[in-house]
């Protein structure tokens, strides 16, 4: 599968990048001391790196579940999937502010349902963030009938979860479907028979790292 064509800066960040660069230029031109403008340029650089969105080439292979986000694995456990009311293998990826924040589909499948819940803004690295924070859950069904739940969870400073899909839409593995502004996490709930391919603390990249294998 070839890497998709897309802007290198996420469209969600165009306004933020433009405003931060405009402020830095305005301060630089309006003051005689260039050092005073340094914090504005540093802020613009931070905004620019936060909203970067490099293209990815998804890993291929039967039954593979890809990471929906860049970050670090903070949970690999058997627990309850509150969305589909089943026991499931849960793998969670924590994104800090220096990770790419585009979210991508972990599997090839059809969107069956989507749920959005208001909530708190606890530190996303905490396990209770999955239950108490603002979140958006996506229920996907693969071509062979296996259910996967992918949940965007807001973090301590995240205040905006974006999802661009609707029930009935088909997503390709690794396809971009959403974005979360600032630190957050993604929870993936899989059938109990799925075999994890990552462990706690592993660093993963959206679409390019395998989280697990679905049973076949």
The residue annotated as part of the active site, out of 20, 92, 184, 209, is: 184
How many Cα atoms sit within 13 Å of 76 on the Cβ side?
A: 14
Q: Rounded to 5 degrees, what angle do the CA atoms 73, 98, 47 make?
A: 150
- What's the Cα-to-Cα distance from 125 to each of 156, 186, 187, rounded to whole Å? 9, 10, 11
As a whole number of angstroms, the distance between CA 29 and CA 46 comes to: 21
Q: Copy the structure tokens of residue 122.
A: 């606890």
Q: Is 92 a catalytic residue?
A: no
Active site residues: 184
């Amino acid at each position: 599968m070839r890497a998709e064509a897309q802007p290198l800066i996420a469209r969600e960040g165009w306004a933020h990048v433009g405003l931060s660069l405009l402020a830095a230029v305005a301060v630089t031109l309006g003051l005689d001391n260039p050092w005073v403008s340094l914090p504005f340029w540093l802020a613009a650089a931070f905004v620019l790196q936060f909203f970067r969105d490099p293209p990815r080439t998804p890993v291929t292979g039967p039954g593979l579940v890809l990471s929906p986000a860049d970050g670090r694995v903070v949970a690999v456990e058997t627990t309850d999937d509150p969305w589909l009311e089943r026991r499931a293998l849960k793998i969670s990826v924590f994104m800090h502010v220096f990770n790419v924040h585009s979210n991508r589909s972990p599997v090839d499948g059809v969107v069956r349902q989507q749920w959005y819940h208001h909530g708190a803004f606890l530190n996303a690295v905490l396990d209770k963030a999955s239950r108490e924070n603002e979140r958006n859950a996506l229920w996907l069904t693969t071509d062979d009938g296996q259910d996967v739940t992918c949940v965007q969870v807001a973090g301590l400073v995240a205040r905006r979860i974006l999802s661009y899909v609707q029930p009935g839409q088909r997503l390709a593995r690794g396809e971009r479907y959403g974005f979360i502004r600032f630190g957050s996490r993604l929870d993936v709930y899989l059938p109990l028979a799925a075999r994890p391919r990552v462990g706690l603390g592993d660093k993963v990249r959206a679409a390019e790292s395998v989280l697990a294998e679905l049973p076949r």
